[in-house]
Amino acid sequence: MATNKVTLHRVFSADIKKVYKAFTDADAIASWLPPYGFVCKVHSMDVRVGGKYKMSFTNFGTGNGHSFGGEYLEIVPNERLQYTDVFDDPNLPGQMITTIELKKVLCGTEMLATQEGIPEIIPVEMCYLGWQESLDKLKRLVEANIPDA
């Protein structure tokens, strides 16, 4: 079993409900989850304990990609999400577990993300860099202040 793990911490100047929604809305997650240079397609997303999801990332430049899916293990609205990630590629074996913890703070929302069980073939530092890019895109999504029409 892979023991590789990444942990990331961020504080967003956005309401906790908006940050949580970015993790549970298919269109939102497709916009921010893939690292720069990739596009995401969410094939299915059933956000409930025991519900499953399926998505794919495609390298915009080469067209190469990978697909993965998993199951939601724990859901506490606006506080915590835990889900599995399993790649369809047999060269990326095992099951990862991602935990997202959200906490309301004075200036917005504090987030702690942990991903465990990263396949040995994926360098942890590359996974960490990918997450940093994704979280930059998440920040731009949730912190945008767009006035109502």
Nearest partner of 75 among 105, 44, 53, judged by Cα = 53
* Largest CA-CA distance found in the chain, in angstroms, rounded: 52
User: What are the CB-based long-range contacts (under 8 Å, 24+) for 62-71?
Assistant: 65/38, 66/92, 67/43, 69/43, 69/44, 70/95, 70/96
pLDDT tens digits for range 107-145? 999 999 999 999 988 899 999 999 999 999 999 999 998
1, pLDDT greater than 70: no
What share of the chain in percent tops pLDDT 90? 89
What average pLDDT does this structure show over 17-23?
98
Q: Give the torsion through C-alpha atoms of 124, 130, 134, 137, to 10 deg.
A: 140
Confidence of residue 2 (pLDDT cuts 50, 70, 90): low
Q: Where are the beta strands (DSSP E) in 32-79?
A: 38-45, 52-59, 65-76
DSSP-based helix, strand, coil % in the chain, nearest 5: 25, 45, 30
Domains delineated in the chain: 4-36+75-142 (3.30.530.20)
| Paired strand residues for 109 | 12, 104
